[in-house]
């Protein structure tokens, strides 16, 4: 199963809520602080590593504030002796 993480540019995020609504595992929440523009930015809250790196949040972000990193487990090669 793939796992991922996202990085949200908090200074550019305007807290539109589209990424949070699009996130299947619901690992995006609003921060407890305001950014320089006066908005409460979105942030990744994923202590259980539920983010799959699906990139739905990045697709719906109107300001392209989200970078997605996706990791897949290395496949084991099966050698026949």
Q: What is the mean pLDDT of residues 8-17?
A: 97
List, in order, residues 6 or more apart from 81 with CB less than 8 Å away: none
Count of Cβ atoms closer than 10 Å to residue 20 Cβ? 17
List, in order, residues 6 or more apart from 48 with CB less than 8 Å away: none
Cβ(43)–Cβ(32) under 8 Å?
no
User: Considering the entire predicted model, what is its pTM?
Assistant: 0.83
Domains contained in the chain, CATH given = 3-71 (3.30.70.20)
List, in order, residues 6 or more apart from 40 with CB less than 8 Å away: 15, 30, 31, 32, 33, 34
DSSP 8-state code for residue 74 = P
pLDDT digits (tens, 9 = 90+) for 21-59: 999 999 999 999 999 999 999 999 999 999 999 999 999
Element (H, E) at 71: strand 66-71
């Amino acid at each position: 199963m793939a796992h991922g993480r996202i990085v949200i540019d908090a200074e550019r995020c305007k807290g539109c809520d589209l990424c949070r609504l699009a996130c299947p595992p619901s690992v995006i929440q609003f921060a407890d602080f305001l950014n320089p523009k006066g908005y409460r930015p979105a942030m990744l809250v994923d202590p259980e590593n539920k983010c799959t790196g699906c990139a739905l949040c990045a697709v719906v972000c109107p300001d392209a504030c989200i970078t997605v990193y996706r990791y897949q487990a290395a496949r084991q090669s099966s050698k026949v002796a």
